[in-house]
Copies of this chain bind each other. A is one copy, B any other.
Protein backbone atom coordinates (compact mmCIF):
# COMPACT_ATOMS: atom_id res chain seq x y z
CA UNK A 1 0.00 0.00 0.00
CA UNK A 2 1.57 3.26 -1.11
CA UNK A 3 0.69 6.90 -0.56
CA UNK A 4 -1.53 8.69 -3.09
CA UNK A 5 0.88 11.60 -3.06
CA UNK A 6 3.55 9.34 -4.58
CA UNK A 7 1.34 8.35 -7.51
CA UNK A 8 2.92 9.65 -10.72
CA UNK A 9 0.67 11.41 -13.21
CA UNK A 10 -1.43 11.00 -15.23
CA UNK A 11 -3.12 8.27 -13.19
CA UNK A 12 -6.75 7.18 -13.24
CA UNK A 13 -7.85 6.91 -9.62
CA UNK A 14 -11.03 5.51 -8.11
CA UNK A 15 -12.24 6.77 -4.72
CA UNK A 16 -13.22 3.46 -3.13
CA UNK A 17 -15.65 4.91 -0.57
CA UNK A 18 -17.59 6.61 -3.36
CA UNK A 19 -17.56 3.57 -5.65
CA UNK A 20 -18.81 1.31 -2.84
CA UNK A 21 -21.56 3.79 -2.05
CA UNK A 22 -22.54 3.94 -5.73
CA UNK A 23 -22.75 0.13 -5.92
CA UNK A 24 -24.94 0.02 -2.78
CA UNK A 25 -27.23 2.84 -3.90
CA UNK A 26 -27.89 1.38 -7.35
CA UNK A 27 -28.54 -2.08 -5.93
CA UNK A 28 -30.87 -0.71 -3.23
CA UNK A 29 -32.91 1.31 -5.70
CA UNK A 30 -33.46 -1.52 -8.17
CA UNK A 31 -34.09 -4.09 -5.41
CA UNK A 32 -36.70 -1.81 -3.81
CA UNK A 33 -38.62 -1.86 -7.10
CA UNK A 34 -38.16 -5.57 -7.71
CA UNK A 35 -35.96 -5.01 -10.78
CA UNK A 36 -32.92 -7.20 -11.30
CA UNK A 37 -29.58 -5.38 -11.40
CA UNK A 38 -27.30 -6.47 -14.24
CA UNK A 39 -24.36 -4.03 -14.20
CA UNK A 40 -22.51 -3.41 -17.47
CA UNK A 41 -18.83 -4.16 -16.96
CA UNK A 42 -17.71 -2.06 -19.97
CA UNK A 43 -17.20 0.84 -17.53
CA UNK A 44 -14.51 -0.77 -15.38
CA UNK A 45 -13.50 -3.95 -17.29
CA UNK A 46 -12.14 -5.25 -13.97
CA UNK A 47 -13.30 -8.61 -12.55
CA UNK A 48 -12.68 -7.57 -8.93
CA UNK A 49 -15.17 -4.71 -9.30
CA UNK A 50 -17.66 -7.06 -10.98
CA UNK A 51 -17.36 -9.31 -7.94
CA UNK A 52 -18.17 -6.40 -5.63
CA UNK A 53 -21.28 -5.71 -7.71
CA UNK A 54 -22.31 -9.38 -7.51
CA UNK A 55 -21.68 -9.48 -3.75
CA UNK A 56 -23.91 -6.41 -3.37
CA UNK A 57 -26.78 -8.34 -4.96
CA UNK A 58 -26.47 -8.07 -8.74
CA UNK A 59 -28.22 -10.94 -10.57
CA UNK A 60 -25.49 -11.12 -13.20
CA UNK A 61 -23.51 -8.89 -15.53
CA UNK A 62 -23.69 -7.32 -18.97
CA UNK A 63 -20.84 -7.44 -21.51
CA UNK A 64 -20.54 -5.81 -24.93
CA UNK A 65 -17.83 -7.94 -26.53
CA UNK A 66 -17.00 -11.66 -26.46
CA UNK A 67 -13.52 -10.79 -25.22
CA UNK A 68 -15.07 -9.17 -22.17
CA UNK A 69 -17.19 -12.26 -21.48
CA UNK A 70 -14.07 -14.43 -21.73
CA UNK A 71 -12.21 -12.34 -19.15
CA UNK A 72 -15.14 -12.31 -16.72
CA UNK A 73 -15.92 -16.03 -17.09
CA UNK A 74 -12.23 -16.86 -16.63
CA UNK A 75 -12.29 -14.84 -13.40
CA UNK A 76 -15.43 -16.59 -12.18
CA UNK A 77 -17.35 -13.35 -11.71
CA UNK A 78 -20.78 -14.53 -12.85
CA UNK A 79 -22.55 -17.34 -14.63
CA UNK A 80 -25.53 -15.18 -15.63
CA UNK A 81 -24.22 -12.91 -18.40
CA UNK A 82 -25.99 -10.96 -21.12
CA UNK A 83 -23.90 -10.15 -24.20
CA UNK A 84 -25.58 -7.14 -25.81
CA UNK A 85 -24.10 -7.31 -29.29
CA UNK A 86 -24.96 -8.94 -32.63
CA UNK A 87 -22.44 -11.78 -33.02
CA UNK A 88 -21.42 -12.66 -36.57
CA UNK A 89 -18.74 -14.77 -38.22
CA UNK A 90 -17.41 -18.19 -37.34
CA UNK A 91 -14.39 -16.92 -35.40
CA UNK A 92 -16.78 -15.25 -32.97
CA UNK A 93 -19.56 -17.85 -32.93
CA UNK A 94 -17.03 -20.58 -32.10
CA UNK A 95 -15.80 -18.54 -29.13
CA UNK A 96 -19.37 -17.82 -28.09
CA UNK A 97 -20.36 -21.49 -28.14
CA UNK A 98 -17.35 -22.38 -25.99
CA UNK A 99 -18.54 -19.75 -23.51
CA UNK A 100 -22.12 -21.08 -23.57
CA UNK A 101 -20.75 -24.41 -22.35
CA UNK A 102 -18.79 -22.79 -19.55
CA UNK A 103 -21.49 -20.30 -18.48
CA UNK A 104 -24.91 -21.89 -19.04
CA UNK A 105 -26.57 -18.62 -17.94
CA UNK A 106 -25.07 -16.74 -20.90
CA UNK A 107 -27.53 -15.10 -23.30
CA UNK A 108 -26.95 -12.94 -26.34
CA UNK A 109 -29.03 -10.31 -28.14
CA UNK A 110 -29.81 -10.12 -31.84
CA UNK A 111 -31.78 -7.77 -34.06
CA UNK A 112 -31.75 -9.50 -37.44
CA UNK A 113 -32.25 -12.83 -39.15
CA UNK A 114 -28.68 -13.17 -40.42
CA UNK A 115 -27.36 -13.22 -36.86
CA UNK A 116 -30.14 -15.60 -35.75
CA UNK A 117 -29.27 -18.09 -38.48
CA UNK A 118 -25.52 -17.93 -37.81
CA UNK A 119 -26.08 -18.53 -34.09
CA UNK A 120 -28.39 -21.45 -34.80
CA UNK A 121 -25.86 -23.06 -37.15
CA UNK A 122 -23.11 -22.56 -34.57
CA UNK A 123 -25.30 -24.03 -31.82
CA UNK A 124 -25.99 -27.11 -33.96
CA UNK A 125 -22.30 -27.41 -34.87
CA UNK A 126 -21.27 -27.34 -31.21
CA UNK A 127 -24.30 -29.12 -29.74
CA UNK A 128 -25.08 -26.07 -27.60
CA UNK A 129 -28.37 -24.28 -26.92
CA UNK A 130 -28.22 -20.55 -27.61
CA UNK A 131 -30.32 -18.31 -25.35
CA UNK A 132 -31.25 -15.05 -27.05
CA UNK A 133 -33.10 -11.77 -26.51
CA UNK A 134 -34.42 -9.63 -29.33
CA UNK A 135 -33.00 -6.10 -29.30
CA UNK A 136 -35.61 -3.37 -29.75
CA UNK A 137 -34.97 0.21 -30.86
CA UNK A 138 -37.36 2.11 -28.59
CA UNK A 139 -36.23 5.56 -29.64
CA UNK A 140 -32.43 5.75 -29.51
CA UNK A 141 -31.85 5.12 -33.23
CA UNK A 142 -28.95 2.69 -32.99
CA UNK A 143 -29.42 -1.09 -33.19
CA UNK A 144 -32.68 -2.94 -32.68
CA UNK A 145 -35.83 -3.89 -34.55
CA UNK A 146 -38.00 -0.90 -35.33
CA UNK A 147 -41.51 -2.07 -34.33
CA UNK A 148 -43.18 -4.37 -31.81
CA UNK A 149 -44.42 -6.50 -34.74
CA UNK A 150 -40.84 -6.85 -36.03
CA UNK A 151 -39.70 -7.92 -32.55
CA UNK A 152 -42.40 -10.58 -32.43
CA UNK A 153 -41.72 -11.81 -35.96
CA UNK A 154 -37.97 -12.06 -35.41
CA UNK A 155 -38.39 -13.79 -32.04
CA UNK A 156 -40.76 -16.36 -33.56
CA UNK A 157 -38.54 -16.96 -36.59
CA UNK A 158 -35.39 -17.32 -34.49
CA UNK A 159 -37.06 -19.48 -31.83
CA UNK A 160 -38.04 -22.00 -34.52
CA UNK A 161 -34.42 -22.42 -35.62
CA UNK A 162 -32.48 -25.38 -34.19
CA UNK A 163 -30.84 -24.81 -30.80
CA UNK A 164 -32.30 -21.29 -30.38
CA UNK A 165 -34.08 -20.48 -27.10
CA UNK A 166 -36.03 -17.22 -26.89
CA UNK A 167 -35.52 -15.49 -23.54
CA UNK A 168 -37.04 -12.04 -23.99
CA UNK A 169 -36.68 -8.46 -25.14
CA UNK A 170 -33.96 -5.88 -24.60
CA UNK A 171 -33.49 -2.16 -25.29
CA UNK A 172 -30.98 0.62 -24.75
CA UNK A 173 -31.53 3.09 -23.28
CA UNK A 174 -34.91 3.34 -21.54
CA UNK A 175 -36.84 6.29 -22.94
CA UNK A 176 -40.20 7.43 -21.67
CA UNK A 177 -42.86 7.04 -22.90
CA UNK A 178 -41.62 5.28 -26.06
CA UNK A 179 -39.92 2.34 -24.33
CA UNK A 180 -43.00 1.50 -22.24
CA UNK A 181 -45.32 1.84 -25.22
CA UNK A 182 -43.07 -0.33 -27.43
CA UNK A 183 -42.88 -3.10 -24.83
CA UNK A 184 -46.62 -2.94 -24.06
CA UNK A 185 -47.49 -3.52 -27.69
CA UNK A 186 -44.81 -6.19 -28.14
CA UNK A 187 -45.83 -8.12 -25.00
CA UNK A 188 -49.46 -8.12 -26.19
CA UNK A 189 -48.36 -9.82 -29.40
CA UNK A 190 -46.36 -12.47 -27.53
CA UNK A 191 -49.26 -13.04 -25.10
CA UNK A 192 -51.66 -13.45 -28.00
CA UNK A 193 -49.41 -16.16 -29.42
CA UNK A 194 -48.95 -17.86 -26.06
CA UNK A 195 -45.21 -17.25 -26.18
CA UNK A 196 -43.66 -16.49 -22.76
CA UNK A 197 -41.27 -13.51 -22.42
CA UNK A 198 -39.35 -14.19 -19.23
CA UNK A 199 -36.95 -11.23 -19.54
CA UNK A 200 -37.54 -7.57 -20.40
CA UNK A 201 -34.21 -5.79 -20.07
CA UNK A 202 -33.75 -2.01 -19.92
CA UNK A 203 -30.57 0.00 -19.66
CA UNK A 204 -28.67 3.21 -19.13
CA UNK A 205 -27.37 5.10 -16.10
CA UNK A 206 -29.44 8.30 -16.52
CA UNK A 207 -32.58 6.09 -16.75
CA UNK A 208 -31.70 3.95 -13.75
CA UNK A 209 -33.49 5.83 -11.01
CA UNK A 210 -36.72 5.97 -13.03
CA UNK A 211 -36.57 2.40 -14.32
CA UNK A 212 -39.60 1.57 -12.14
CA UNK A 213 -41.74 3.76 -14.40
CA UNK A 214 -41.47 1.08 -17.07
CA UNK A 215 -43.35 -1.60 -15.13
CA UNK A 216 -42.63 -4.56 -17.40
CA UNK A 217 -38.84 -4.35 -16.89
CA UNK A 218 -37.52 -7.45 -15.16
CA UNK A 219 -33.94 -6.17 -15.10
CA UNK A 220 -31.86 -3.07 -15.74
CA UNK A 221 -28.35 -2.74 -17.17
CA UNK A 222 -26.19 0.27 -16.30
CA UNK A 223 -22.44 0.76 -16.40
CA UNK A 224 -21.44 4.35 -15.73
CA UNK A 225 -23.17 4.54 -12.33
CA UNK A 226 -20.36 2.56 -10.67
CA UNK A 227 -18.03 5.57 -11.08
CA UNK A 228 -20.19 8.43 -12.50
CA UNK A 229 -18.84 11.31 -14.58
CA UNK A 230 -19.61 14.75 -16.01
CA UNK A 231 -22.36 13.34 -18.26
CA UNK A 232 -24.17 11.73 -15.34
CA UNK A 233 -23.84 14.85 -13.20
CA UNK A 234 -25.20 16.98 -16.03
CA UNK A 235 -28.12 14.56 -16.42
CA UNK A 236 -29.02 15.33 -12.80
CA UNK A 237 -28.70 11.78 -11.49
CA UNK A 238 -25.46 12.27 -9.54
CA UNK A 239 -23.40 15.03 -7.90
CA UNK A 240 -19.65 15.63 -7.95
CA UNK A 241 -19.55 13.86 -4.58
CA UNK A 242 -20.78 10.68 -6.33
CA UNK A 243 -17.97 10.76 -8.90
CA UNK A 244 -15.45 8.06 -7.96
CA UNK A 245 -13.17 8.37 -10.99
CA UNK A 246 -10.68 11.23 -11.00
CA UNK A 247 -7.76 11.61 -13.34
CA UNK A 248 -4.80 12.74 -11.27
CA UNK A 249 -2.81 15.17 -13.42
CA UNK A 250 0.06 17.64 -13.16
CA UNK A 251 0.08 21.23 -14.36
CA UNK A 252 3.13 21.10 -16.62
CA UNK A 253 2.94 24.58 -18.15
CA UNK A 254 1.36 27.98 -17.55
CA UNK A 255 2.15 29.66 -20.88
CA UNK A 256 -0.17 32.61 -20.18
CA UNK A 257 -2.00 34.00 -17.19
CA UNK A 258 -5.25 32.50 -18.43
CA UNK A 259 -4.00 29.11 -19.59
CA UNK A 260 -2.77 25.98 -17.85
CA UNK A 261 -1.58 22.78 -19.51
CA UNK A 262 -2.17 19.38 -17.89
CA UNK A 263 -0.30 16.16 -18.67
CA UNK A 264 -3.51 14.37 -19.70
CA UNK A 265 -4.95 14.66 -23.19
CA UNK A 266 -7.13 12.50 -25.42
CA UNK A 267 -4.93 9.48 -24.71
CA UNK A 268 -6.32 9.53 -21.15
CA UNK A 269 -9.52 11.64 -21.10
CA UNK A 270 -10.55 10.82 -24.72
CA UNK A 271 -12.40 13.26 -27.00
CA UNK A 272 -15.85 12.19 -25.76
CA UNK A 273 -17.67 15.48 -25.36
CA UNK A 274 -21.41 14.67 -25.27
CA UNK A 275 -22.48 18.27 -25.50
CA UNK A 276 -20.37 19.39 -22.54
CA UNK A 277 -18.52 22.70 -22.58
CA UNK A 278 -15.17 21.02 -22.11
CA UNK A 279 -13.47 17.66 -21.67
CA UNK A 280 -13.66 17.24 -17.91
CA UNK A 281 -14.31 18.97 -14.60
CA UNK A 282 -11.29 20.08 -12.55
CA UNK A 283 -12.32 19.51 -8.92
CA UNK A 284 -9.81 21.98 -7.42
CA UNK A 285 -10.72 24.72 -9.94
CA UNK A 286 -14.42 24.27 -10.74
CA UNK A 287 -14.52 27.42 -12.90
CA UNK A 288 -11.70 26.14 -15.13
CA UNK A 289 -12.69 24.86 -18.57
CA UNK A 290 -10.72 21.98 -20.11
CA UNK A 291 -11.51 23.55 -23.45
CA UNK A 292 -9.26 21.57 -25.74
CA UNK A 293 -7.16 18.43 -25.75
CA UNK A 294 -4.17 17.27 -27.74
CA UNK A 295 -3.10 13.66 -27.47
CA UNK A 296 -1.01 14.24 -24.34
CA UNK A 297 -1.95 17.80 -23.33
CA UNK A 298 -5.06 19.15 -21.60
CA UNK A 299 -5.48 22.83 -22.43
CA UNK A 300 -7.30 24.60 -19.60
CA UNK A 301 -8.90 28.03 -19.78
CA UNK A 302 -8.46 29.69 -16.38
CA UNK A 303 -10.02 33.03 -17.26
CA UNK A 304 -13.02 32.47 -14.98
CA UNK A 305 -10.85 31.35 -12.03
CA UNK A 306 -10.03 33.66 -9.12
CA UNK A 307 -7.34 31.28 -7.86
CA UNK A 308 -5.02 29.74 -10.45
CA UNK A 309 -2.67 26.75 -10.26
CA UNK A 310 1.12 26.86 -10.47
CA UNK A 311 3.43 24.69 -12.58
CA UNK A 312 3.96 21.41 -10.73
CA UNK A 313 0.61 21.49 -8.94
CA UNK A 314 -1.51 18.32 -8.92
CA UNK A 315 -5.20 18.51 -9.86
CA UNK A 316 -7.98 15.94 -10.28
CA UNK A 317 -10.21 15.85 -13.34
CA UNK A 318 -13.60 14.12 -13.42
CA UNK A 319 -13.86 12.93 -17.03
CA UNK A 320 -16.86 13.50 -19.29
CA UNK A 321 -17.31 9.77 -19.84
CA UNK A 322 -15.68 7.35 -17.41
CA UNK A 323 -16.34 4.16 -19.48
CA UNK A 324 -13.88 5.15 -22.16
CA UNK A 325 -11.19 6.38 -19.76
CA UNK A 326 -10.62 3.02 -18.02
CA UNK A 327 -10.05 1.60 -21.49
CA UNK A 328 -7.11 3.99 -22.11
CA UNK A 329 -4.88 2.77 -19.30
CA UNK A 330 -3.37 -0.45 -18.05
CA UNK A 331 -4.42 -0.01 -14.44
CA UNK A 332 -6.82 1.86 -12.17
CA UNK A 333 -5.71 2.94 -8.70
CA UNK A 334 -8.22 2.32 -5.90
CA UNK A 335 -7.72 5.06 -3.32
CA UNK A 336 -8.98 5.42 0.25
CA UNK A 337 -8.03 8.49 2.24
CA UNK A 338 -4.37 9.15 1.55
CA UNK A 339 -3.50 5.58 0.55
CA UNK A 340 -3.53 3.62 -2.69
CA UNK A 341 -5.33 0.54 -1.38
CA UNK A 342 -5.41 -1.49 -4.58
CA UNK A 343 -3.97 -1.40 -8.11
CA UNK A 344 -6.31 -3.13 -10.56
CA UNK A 345 -5.10 -4.23 -13.99
CA UNK A 346 -7.83 -3.29 -16.49
CA UNK A 347 -8.16 -6.93 -17.47
CA UNK A 348 -10.63 -6.52 -20.36
CA UNK A 349 -9.05 -3.32 -21.72
CA UNK A 350 -8.81 -3.32 -25.48
CA UNK A 351 -10.93 -6.47 -25.92
CA UNK A 352 -12.46 -5.08 -29.10
CA UNK A 353 -13.43 -8.46 -30.55
Q: Please choose the segment from A21-29, A31-39, A206-214, A262-270 that sits at the chain B interface, where 4 or more of its residues have CB less than 8 A away.
A: A262-270
Instruction: Tell me the complex Cα distance, A64–B297, Å.
Output: 10
Beta-carbon contact of A85 and B142 below 8 Å: no
Residues of B close to A88: CB separation below 8 A: 250, 252, 263, 311-312
Beta-carbon contact of A142 and B86 below 8 Å: no
CB of A137 to closest CB in B, whole Å: 6
Residues of B close to A271: CB separation below 8 A: 270-273, 324
Beta-carbon contact of A64 and B295 below 8 Å: yes
CB of A50 to closest CB in B, whole Å: 17
Question: Is residue A1 contacting chain B, with contact meaning CB distance below 8 A?
Answer: no
Beta-carbon contact of B328 and A352 below 8 Å: yes
The residue that A9 contacts in the complex, of B89, B145, B270, B324, with Cβ under 8 A, is B89
Question: Is residue A92 contacting chain B, with contact meaning CB distance below 8 A?
Answer: yes
Residues of B close to A329: CB separation below 8 A: 350, 352
Residue of B at shortest CB range from A259? B141
- In this complex, how many residues of chain A approach chain B with their Cβ under 8 Å: the count is 60
Question: Is residue A296 contacting chain B, with contact meaning CB distance below 8 A?
Answer: yes
Given A85-B296, A350-B328, decide whether A255 and B145 contact each other with a Cβ distance below 8 A. yes
Beta-carbon contact of A89 and B250 below 8 Å: yes
Question: Is residue A146 contacting chain B, with contact meaning CB distance below 8 A?
Answer: yes
Residues of B close to A9: CB separation below 8 A: 89, 353
Question: Is residue A343 contacting chain B, with contact meaning CB distance below 8 A?
Answer: no
Q: Please choose the segment from A69-77, A107-115, A183-191 that sits at the chain B interface, where 4 or more of its residues have CB less than 8 A away.
A: A107-115
Instruction: Tell me the complex Cα distance, A256–B140, Å.
Output: 13
Beta-carbon contact of B8 and A92 below 8 Å: yes
Residue of B at shortest CB range from A256? B146
Beta-carbon contact of A324 and B295 below 8 Å: yes
Given A111-B253, A111-B255, A271-B272, decide whether A10 and B297 contact each other with a Cβ distance below 8 A. no
Residues of B close to A255: CB separation below 8 A: 111-112, 137, 142-146
Question: Is residue A91 contacting chain B, with contact meaning CB distance below 8 A?
Answer: yes
Beta-carbon contact of B353 and A330 below 8 Å: no
Beta-carbon contact of B268 and A270 below 8 Å: no
Beta-carbon contact of B267 and A352 below 8 Å: yes
Beta-carbon contact of A142 and B297 below 8 Å: yes
Residue of B at shortest CB range from A296? B64
Beta-carbon contact of B253 and A89 below 8 Å: no
Q: Which of A33-87 contact B (CB under 8 A)?
A: 42, 64-65, 85-86
Given A328-B352, A352-B10, A353-B9, decide whether A86 and B296 contact each other with a Cβ distance below 8 A. no
Chain A interface residues toward B at CB < 8 A:
6, 8-11, 42, 64-65, 85-86, 88-89, 91-92, 111-112, 114-115, 137, 141-146, 250, 252-256, 259, 261, 263-264, 266-268, 270-273, 292, 294-297, 299, 310-312, 323-324, 327-330, 350, 352-353
